[in-house]
Amino acid sequence: MKSLTSTICTVLLIVFTSPGFAGPQQDAVVNYYKELAKREFSASRGEAFFRAKQTGGKPATPSCTTCHTSSPMNTGKTRVNKPIAPMALSKTPDRFSDLKKVEKWFGRNCRSVLGRECTALEKGDFLTFMISQ
Amino acid sequence: MSDIPFNSDVERTKSSPRGVRVWDLPVRIFHWGLVLAVTITLVTGFLAPEWRLDIHVWAGYAIALLVTFRLLWGLYGSRHARFASFVYSPKKTIEHIKGVLRGKSAHYSGHNPAGAVMVFALLVVLATLTVSGIIILGGQENLGPAAGFIPFSTGVETVSIHRLVAYGLLFLIAAHVIGMLVESHISRENLARAMITGRKQDAASQPIIMPNATINSRALVIVVIVGLTGGGAYAIMSATPASGIVKFSPDDTYASECGDCHYAYNPSLLPRNSWQGIMAGLDDHFGEDASLDSETANSILAYLNKYSSEAWDSEAANNLRIVSVKNPLSITATAYWRRRHGEIDKKVFEQSNIGSKGNCVACHRDADSGRFDDAAIFIPAPPVPPKT
């Protein structure tokens, strides 16, 4: 009986401390960045990063919101108006599940918007924010 | 010309107030069917945008069938329908025209010598137009029975012949109508009405004689043979795959990696040099970073090299391989692309169900096959904004 209670408690603890509806795949991706950043991630820092107007990148893409719109819940669009499924994990459940894909797009999008690679902290914050949405 | 071997089944029409029957029903149906089909081809050929080609082509096939029928009916039809009944010597023809110019005309029950020349000229011109049309359709559009055999360049070269002969046809039609009006005036016989009712008012007209049973059965055999050969040849030729279109299986890597931001362009739309330029500059791809790891990039490049416009002989590939000097990596910057889409309003491309001019597949339903047929173009209607 004691062991059952503790199991339930552990499960609840895990559920409530892990961000949003993240499954094991998203956790693996976030943990990958956590190892690199060696810091805790913050959803509010991620949100600020997502909305920030940048100057170092290509003129056509000053912000993540240029394509992903100002709300993670919205369908975004590329510069040629092709729809992009919402970034929020609650809207698009298979988001951030493949590290290779995530890295490819961070690479492209960060270079387009900021003119440089994003740091592991920026990436982790961004993911934490999107997963909480 | 009563020496044609009609022997039985003579249909005599008594000279009645309604006139003497000279044109049989098939001739009249042929005549007015031809008027309709020719009008459609002329209007669609000279006035309509090229993408209404489908109507032009169907009317063209109708003309081919009508002309074939007329050639057979010229051998087996009723008295005045037969070619033999209106082959006149040059001397007689000139005499006739001279007479008309002086305001006099001898009576002819069927075609008069000038009209006869017109019939033969029209048949030759129409046959030339259908044959050259099928060559263009096969070469330029990779469609129809000649698609498997005629290169694009031959199709394009034939266009000038087709157009020239079409102008000739316009001239013949004008001459035909004027000649008919003049002759009608001189002979006081409404020739246009005669072609509708089949009857001439002049009591001196020799009545129609329909072919007899022997001729009919002989004609039937010939019709069956001609129909089977023609239909068989058409079917076999049409079954031959179009020579300019490459059959290829789409590449999954390409479709996913190059289809995230925009429609994954058919490889036939740019020449090898342009694809190489695009793949070498993905870090600054039209003002955006589209980098790929080198392994993926190489496999995509191999695919694009293999199926670039050099491998195709289609209308799109042949025209789009002439890239813009200033912007050699772009499809929509080519002079051909801009010319063909110049009449489309900018707002149309921005419609939410199209998005951009680069979204070829929104309007060209066959874009993925590389065909870009005129018949597959459908500009989607603007979506109705949701009621608030």
DSSP B216-231: HHHHHHHHHHHHHHHH
Q: According to CATH, what is the number of the domain B10-238?
A: 1.20.950.20
Class of domain A24-131: mainly alpha
Per cent of chain B over pLDDT 70 is 95
Residue A72 contacts residue A64 (beta carbons within 8 Å)? no
CA-nearest of B350, B115, B52 to B60 is: B52
Structure tokens at A49: 């990063």
Give CA–CA dist B146/B139, Å, rounded. Answer: 7
Alpha helix ranges (H) inside chain A: 2-17, 24-37, 43-51, 65-68, 99-114, 120-132
Q: Which secondary structure element, helix H or strand E, spans residue B20, and what is its range?
A: strand B20-21
Is the pLDDT at B52 greater than 90? The verdict is: no
The 10s digit of each residue's pLDDT in B224-254 is: 999 999 999 999 999 999 999 999 888 999 9
Least confident of A4-8, A74-78, A101-105, B281-285: A4-8
Q: Give the bridge partners for A76, in sequence order.
A: A84
Complex ipTM value: 0.74
Give CA–CA dist A10/A4, Å, rounded. Answer: 10
What's the pTM value of the predicted model, to 2 decimals? 0.82
**B291, A109: Cβ pair inside 8 Å?**
no
CA-nearest of B341, B247, B319 to B51 is: B341
Residue-averaged pLDDT of chain B: 90
Q: Is A119 on the interface with B (CB under 8 A)?
A: no
Which pLDDT does position B9 carry in this prediction? Answer: 38
**What residues of chain A lie within 8 A of the CB of B355, using their CB?**
77, 80-82
CA B312 to chain centre: 23
Query: Average pLDDT, stretch B166-190?
Result: 93
Nearest to B289 among A59, A82, A111 (CB): A111
Q: Which secondary structure element, helix H or strand E, spans residue B267, and what is its range?
A: none
CA-nearest of B370, B258, B277 to B320 is: B370
Q: What is the 3-state secondary structure (H, E, C) of B234-261?
A: HHHHHHCCCCCCCCCCCCHHHHHHCCCC
Query: Average pLDDT, stretch A59-84?
Result: 91
Is the pLDDT at A4 greater than 80? The verdict is: no
Which pLDDT does position A3 carry in this prediction? Answer: 64
Is the pLDDT at B148 greater than 80? The verdict is: yes
Q: Is A17 on the interface with B (CB under 8 A)?
A: no
**B355, A81: Cβ pair inside 8 Å?**
yes
Structure tokens at B134: 């099928």
Which pLDDT does position B3 carry in this prediction? Answer: 42
Question: How confident is residue B136, by pLDDT bands cut at 50, 70 and 90?
Answer: very high
**A107, B291: Cβ pair inside 8 Å?**
yes
Q: Is A116 on the interface with B (CB under 8 A)?
A: no
Residue A29 contacts residue A102 (beta carbons within 8 Å)? yes
Which pLDDT does position A55 carry in this prediction? Answer: 87
Is the pLDDT at A129 greater than 60? The verdict is: yes
The 10s digit of each residue's pLDDT in B31-44 is: 999 999 999 999 99
Domain ranges of chain A: 24-131
Residue B216 contacts residue B77 (beta carbons within 8 Å)? no
Least confident of B127-136, B265-274, B350-359: B350-359
Residue-averaged pLDDT of chain A: 86
CB-defined contacts A:B, below 8 A: 49
Structure tokens at B80: 């005045």
The 10s digit of each residue's pLDDT in A6-61 is: 666 555 444 444 445 678 888 899 999 999 988 899 999 999 999 999 888 888 88
Query: Average pLDDT, stretch B350-354?
Result: 89
**A58, B292: Cβ pair inside 8 Å?**
no
Is the pLDDT at B329 greater than 70? The verdict is: yes
- Give the closest-approach CA distance of A81 to chain B in angstroms: 5
Domain with CATH 1.20.950.20 in chain B: 10-238
The Cα-based distances of B291 to B1, B232, B306 in angstroms read 84, 54, 21
Which pLDDT does position A2 carry in this prediction? Answer: 55
Is the pLDDT at B209 greater than 90? The verdict is: no
Give CA–CA dist B314/B156, Å, rounded. Answer: 11
Which pLDDT does position B6 carry in this prediction? Answer: 44
CA-nearest of A98, A89, A102, A97 to A128 is: A89
**A60, B262: Cβ pair inside 8 Å?**
no
Structure tokens at B148: 């498997």
Give CA–CA dist B354/B70, Å, rounded. Answer: 48
